[in-house]
Structure 1
Amino acid sequence: MQILSSFSCEQDEDIENFLHNKAVEFELLSKARTYLICDEEQLSGKDFYLDQLQIYGYVAIALKILSVPEEWSNRKRKELDGLSAKIHGEPIKDFSCYLIGQLSRNSKVPHDSISGSDLLQVAYDVIAAAVDAVGGRYMMIECREEKKLVDFYLTNGFEEIQRSSDGNHIMVQMIRKISI
């Protein structure tokens, strides 16, 4: 789609690649939903043309299983579950979460046109609607181990769970309790 190819992310080629090459497939397979953030005035104009639409940013939301480290206490497991730390006497190891899989601003638009916090709010709004419909307790993100990114999510109420490698980068997994 030509509109998607107008998006650029100079900081992270993987984010740009997802929107250009994977988002439509993920949509069709119901693996994730991708939300494009555009100028409302441009969308509502009488001379609106899709090929001229400017994407300010996007977020992609999916479901994911959070597998917690074995060393986690029963108290922390119970906090995540809400009811119990164990099922049939065994510690709960996996929890369902909403994954904010992608979140990015278009490098081609003015920096002040949309902020990371604005994009995060879009993700929160989508997740809140899903929680209203089916429930859920936590959202998570996985980002590269870059101080600016980690600090952004910490500032926005996420807490670090664990770090791992995706083969090329150290990834930081973070969660945030959903409050509606």
Structure 2
Amino acid sequence: MEMQVTSLDSLIESAKGREDVLKEYLLSFRCEVNKDVESFLHNKAIDNEKRSITRTSLVVDDENNSEIIGFFTLMVKPFHFTNVSGTTRQKLTGNKKATIFNTILIAQFGRADFYKGKVAGSLILDIALEHCKLINKLVAIRIVSVEYEENEQLSSFYENNGFKVIQKNENGLAMSYIRV
């Protein structure tokens, strides 16, 4: 399967005056297992992109009419440490008394239902991490994090892909990290 990564920003730029066509394209993405991810792409991604809050990249199927296989959304975000050991703080920031650290947050991440069993989620994650490595080279942020509702499937997915749990955030979401 031939895949390509396309920035939402470039699609917005090329759709000037035809944003309804772009919205229709994004509405083709379906993710029944995580309606929040689907809703983000349908309802918030374009606005967040235009306002420079996040950057979304689409992984598309070159062989199937540029159908959306999956997507990921990145942003830089500071996080406050909560109940984290000095050793972990030292490892992440170089300062065992640090109260905050900057991270590249994979804010949204999803794969279309049609591609389940055809394209591994880890492949899309690898593409996202390659983007994070480029960000690291440009601005020296080396920690990538994800926040997610704790369940066995998500915890295993991120753990199997090298992420380590750091803390539970005040919103009840687990937070894991990886170095790039």
Query: What letter is aligned with 1:75?
Result: T
CA distance in 2, matches of 1:5, 1:54: 11
Give the 4+ runs in structure 1 shifted more than 6 A.
none
Is 1:39 matched up with 2:61?
A: yes
**Share of identical aligned residues, percent?**
30
What is the aligned partner in structure 2 of residue 120 from structure 1? 125
Going from structure 1 to structure 2, the CA distance change for 1:73 and 1:145 (only over 3 Å counts) comes to closer
Matches within 5 A, 1:6-21: 6-21=28-43
* RMSD (Å), alpha carbons: 1.6
CA distance in 2 between partners of 1:158 and 1:175 (Å): 5
Residue 104 of structure 1 corresponds to 110
| In 1: Cα distance, 2:158 partner to 2:28 partner | 27
Alignment deviations for residues 80-120 of structure 1 (CA, whole Å, 9 cap, x no partner) = 113x33xxxxx21000000011111101x232332110110
**Maintained 8 Å contact 2:84/2:166:** no
Q: What SS class does the counterpart of residue 112 from structure 1 fall into?
A: coil
Q: Based on CA coordinates, which of the two structures has the bigger radius of gyration?
A: 1
Q: Partner of 2:4 in structure 1? A: none
Name the residue aligned to 1:57: 70
Instruction: Indicate conservation of the 8 Å contact 1:38/1:54, yes or no.
Output: yes
Tell me how many residue pairs correspond in the alignment.
Answer: 158
SS at match of 1:58: strand
Q: Return the alpha-carbon distance in structure 2 between the equivalents of residues 36 and 6 of structure 1.
A: 12
Secondary structure (helix, strand or coil) at the match of 2:176 reads strand
The letter for the 2-side match of 1:60 is T
Q: Which whole-Å CA distance do the structure 2 matches of 1:172 and 1:77 have between them?
A: 17
Shift of 1:62: 0.7
| TM-score normalised per structure 2 | 0.82
Question: 149, 154, 159: which is aligned to 2:154?
Answer: 149
**Hey, what's the Cα distance between the residues in 2 that align with 1:28 and 1:41?**
29
Supply the distance in 2 between the matched residues of 1:63 and 1:123 (Cα, whole angstroms).
14
Q: Unpaired segments of 5 or more residues in structure 1?
A: 43-51, 86-90
TM-score (norm 1): 0.82
Q: Deviations over 1:17-47 (max 9, x none)?
A: 00000001110111111011101345xxxxx
